Amino acid sequence: MTVSLVVVSHSSKIASGAVDLAAQMAPNVVLAAAGGTDDERIGTSLEKVMAALDEALARSAGDGVVVLTDLGSAVMTAESALEFSSTPEQILLADAPLIEGLVAAAVAAESGEPRDAVKAAAEAAGAAWAGTAVGVGNGDGVTGAGTVPEGPLETGEFELINPMGMHARPAAKIAGGLSSLDAYVTVNGVDGTSIMALMALAVRQGGTLRVEARGADAERAVRYVGGLVARGFGEIQAQ
Amino acid sequence: MVLDVQWAIAWLTLSAKAMTEHREELIELDRAIGDSDHGENMDRGFQAVVAKLAETPPETPGAALKLAAMALMSKVGGAAGPLYGTAYLRAATSMGDATELDGGALATALEAARDGIVARGKAELGDKTMVDAWSPAVEAAQAAAVDGPGPVLRAAAEAAAAGAVATDPLVARKGRASYLGERSAGHRDPGAASTALLLKAAADAAGETLPESPE
């Protein structure tokens, strides 16, 4: 199973549209929309949010739920729903922009990440779009350039052989693996632990990923990306 | 006056009446510095509360407030829904299964309500929000706790009304009004105004008469 996602928006159209968008990249993830009021006005409804949470929790088989929200009172309604929930420990609220965060969370959930990693992926997505993600190797947030660890620079250049090049799932695999390593890694200059930043590179088949890594696991990080690229991210049928 | 479930039901019913009566006034306040939906949202929310009370009559004051919390969070739509909903929910939790409230229990419940709003909305005193009506109300309630529930309600209502008036000159630092910056000064905060009305309804429900509210 995978982590389920709930979208809380002031507008039912935004919530269902966001779910449609994310579903394209994450066909196996349960996505529940809770947008608008009970009578389809602009606003949020505790009942709608609780119903969406119940559905998402029931279908997550214990993996839990990550909630994405839009404006202020959607956050407050989601928090209130948590207060009513009998299993609040299974629900995490992501502090992330709705669309970018949802897409990153959906891709992370699709690749089987646990709920705290799905939440982290959503939150890193916002920072990546804002251009502030310098990146810290373990994916625990945004820090300044001063956190680059000491040690020799390990590098590698890898040509993408999979037909679709860089897209959501390869980005999730790279970011997911690098997040667990003790290394500061950039790929073509962007944070290697940020799904959204990697996707935004839009490198095509035949294009090159240049990996630069420092830190204790620097060499492993470079080998990890090289291995994924060589296997075509698992998208190439065995000969 | 005994503060039992009948009082709680009367409070919520008078609250609904007050929201209908002051609907246009709250809309006008919110038009000046917000999105002009506060009066309409509060009216709709409290009509839903009254409908719920008729549907499933509660047996304790706490149960009545919990029911109101659910209805407000589901029907108000705007930020006031989760804020007031959290307030009533925390107050309900504080009251527990008690069938009657004394002055101390009531003051503690009001404090829990205020703390819930602060936790949910992250506003502080002086931000030009409903907290500016709730906080003085809680302090006045605590000071009057030994005098019994009637004086607690009366003190809270008077302090909330004064607190709402005192938001007039403030510059908003939270909510939609904060986008207006300095231009929010000179207008009363709609959330503080509705808080004053709701706490007046609580005193009215206990038969406590208040002096004319300050203007």
Task: Determine contact: B76 vs chain A, CB below 8 A.
Answer: yes
A19: closest CA of chain B, how far (Å): 21
Length of chain A: 239
Please report which confidence band the pLDDT of residue B166 belongs to, taking 50, 70 and 90 as the band edges: very high
If one counts the domains in chain A, the total is 2
Mutate to test the interface with A, among B35, B74, B118, B129 (most CBs of A within 10 A): B74
The CA-based dihedral angle spanning residues B127, B128, B134, B139, taken in that order and rounded to the nearest 10 degrees: 60
Using the 3D structure, point to which of A93, A121, A144 is the last residue of a domain. A93
Please report which confidence band the pLDDT of residue A196 belongs to, taking 50, 70 and 90 as the band edges: confident
Please report which confidence band the pLDDT of residue A238 belongs to, taking 50, 70 and 90 as the band edges: low
Range of the domain at A75: 4-93
Chain A residue numbers with beta carbons less than 8 Å from the beta carbon of B85 are: 46, 80
Q: Per the domain annotation, does A223 fall within a domain?
A: yes
Closest residue of B to A48, CA-based?
B74
ipTM of the complex: 0.79
Q: Residue B188 in 3-state DSSP? A: coil
Q: What is the pLDDT of residue A89?
A: 95
Mean of pLDDT values over B28-36: 91
Q: Do A76 and B82 touch (CB under 8 A)?
A: yes
- Structure tokens belonging to residue A164: 């679709």
More reliable by pLDDT, A145 or B31: B31
Q: Are A159 and A229 members of one domain?
A: yes
CATH of the domain at A14: 3.40.50.510
Using the 3D structure, point to which of A48, A75, A93 is the last residue of a domain. A93
B78: closest CA of chain A, how far (Å): 6
Task: Determine contact: B175 vs chain A, CB below 8 A.
Answer: yes
CB neighbourhood size of B27 (10 A): 19
Q: Do B70 and A46 touch (CB under 8 A)?
A: yes
Q: The whole model's pTM is what?
A: 0.77
- Does residue A195 carry a pLDDT above 90? no
Q: Are A158 and A88 members of one domain?
A: no
Q: What is the pLDDT of residue A143?
A: 38
Q: What is the pLDDT of residue A136?
A: 37
- Structure tokens belonging to residue A138: 């373990």
- Does residue A239 carry a pLDDT above 90? no
Q: Select the residue of A42, A79, A84 nearest B120 (Cβ to Cβ).
A: A79
Q: Do A37 and B75 touch (CB under 8 A)?
A: yes
Q: List phi, psi (to 5°) of A210.
A: -105, 115
pLDDT in tens, A11-40: 999 999 999 999 988 889 999 999 999 888
Q: Do B85 and A72 touch (CB under 8 A)?
A: no
Nearest to B77 by CA among B131, B30, B108, B40: B40
pLDDT in tens, A108-157: 898 888 999 999 989 987 766 555 444 433 343 333 344 677 788 999 99
CATH of the domain at A198: 3.30.1340.10
Residue with tokens 């990249």, as numbered in its chain: A25
Q: Do A43 and B76 touch (CB under 8 A)?
A: yes
Q: Per the domain annotation, does A120 fall within a domain?
A: no
Please report which confidence band the pLDDT of residue A1 belongs to, taking 50, 70 and 90 as the band edges: confident
Scanning B86-105 for CB atoms below 8 A from A yields 86, 89
Closest residue of B to A47, CA-based?
B74
pLDDT in tens, A57-80: 999 989 999 999 998 889 999 999
Using the 3D structure, point to which of A93, A112, A142 is the last residue of a domain. A93
Sheet strands (E) in chain A? 4-9, 31-35, 65-69, 91-93, 154-159, 184-187, 190-191, 208-214
Q: Per the domain annotation, does A32 fall within a domain?
A: yes
A212: closest CA of chain B, how far (Å): 41
Do B82 and B117 contact (CB within 8 A), yes or no? no
> Which residues of A are catalytic, by number?
10
Q: Do B82 and A73 touch (CB under 8 A)?
A: yes
CA atoms of A175 and A186, how far apart (whole Å): 10
Interface of A with B (CB under 8 A): 37-38, 41-48, 72-73, 76-77, 79-80, 83-84
Q: What is the pLDDT of residue B95?
A: 98
Q: Per the domain annotation, does A173 fall within a domain?
A: yes
Chain B residue numbers with beta carbons less than 8 Å from the beta carbon of A77 are: 73, 81-82
Q: Per the domain annotation, does A117 fall within a domain?
A: no
Q: Per the domain annotation, does A143 fall within a domain?
A: no
CA atoms of A50 and A80, how far apart (whole Å): 9
